[in-house]
Amino acid sequence: MQSIMEDEIQLTTSSIFSAIPTTLSGKNATNDTQCPHLDVWDWLYIMQPAFMFIIFALGILGNIFVLLVFSLHKKACTVAEIYLGNLAAADLLLVICLPFWALNVANGFDWQFGMVMCRLVNTGIRMNMFCSVFLLVLVSVDRYIALVHALSSGRMRRARYAKLSCIAVWIFGLILNIPTLHFRAIQFIPELNIIACILDYPNTNVGLACDILLILIGFIVPIVVITYCTVKIIRALHKQVVDRFNAENTERKATVLVLAVMVVFLFCWVPFHLVTVMDILMRFGLFGGCSFGTGLDISNQIFTYLALSNSVLNPILYVIVGKNFRKKVRELLKQLTEKRKDSVSGSTRSHLSNTIKTFVNY
């Protein structure tokens, strides 16, 4: 009994992106295998809340800073800045949801926030996963149009179209989260004496379909589009012949940014999706065994939080390290300083005028 309970505790810690308690509903074939409890799980239980609170703190600071710069600057946002601002908003949505899950882990997965928050918190987390990757696709496509189709980019790259594209991404992300809104539920687990926030699929086929959808739409399709755009961008930069110095400078900057976007995105998300694929294959019976299942569960934990850390890296990667953003920050600081000086000067003049009027009247 103790071993079964330990297995169930481990399974309640499955990725916040996936179906949590398959054994709790008696649907996992590995439930009959009584795997020994590993000390690494105790370490994960301790580290997960701390790591999520770190992501929360850094993500709040970084993404709010980005949004403030874009929204307070006197100049209208460019197409790229509209996409990056929405990306910061998606990352902000994720980090706002993380403290709830961190407290859930620290509390032994005994959910204390009710059914509505169970669904909203997990929907917010998955919204980030879908919306951020599709916003990254929009950024890549925007670069592709700007550099490969430079002559016609003026007609295609308009702020209005960018805003409509972002609205479409948010709506599409919400549609993809319908399974989460529908199947997320709180359920009492008598063996553990907890009320868990779980993905309660009616059967394993529905769970498999949702995970396959996550892989195809949330990773494979975006990667294909981003890779295609990247290859075309690099080829276009190599073919530039007008103004050799500027061409080489543009090529260097664009290539570094494109490679940075691809490397960081792949570094953060490929491991998580590979583990998801392996989990799907295990559910099909292609893999099995206690050691493999335990290793997969632990990998799922580690790579999930690696993926979440992308929300902290995005402000640094896409915006803060960019010269245009640093220029915008300097201009905003100058703008706010001048506004404050004008306000103080106006207040002083008003006070002086009132003083003179009082003196004259007297």
Task: Please state at what angle helix 221-238 crosses helix 114-148, rounded to 10 degrees.
Answer: 20
Helix (H) or strand (E) holding 101: helix 79-106
Q: Which fold has domain 39-337?
A: Rhopdopsin 7-helix transmembrane proteins (1.20.1070)
33 falls in which pLDDT band (50, 70, 90)? very low
Contact partners, residue 157, CB within 8 Å, separation at least 6? 79, 142, 145, 146
Pairing between strand 184-189 and 194-199? antiparallel
Q: What is the pTM of this model?
A: 0.81
Mean pLDDT of 295-313: 86
Average pLDDT, the chain: 78
pLDDT of res. 24: 35
Domain boundaries, the chain: 39-337
Rounded to whole angstroms, how far apart are CA atoms 100 and 195?
15
Mean pLDDT of 293-317: 84
* 17 pLDDT above the threshold of 50: yes
103 falls in which pLDDT band (50, 70, 90)? very high
- Report the range out of 60-69, 208-217, 256-265, 308-317 with the highest average pLDDT: 60-69
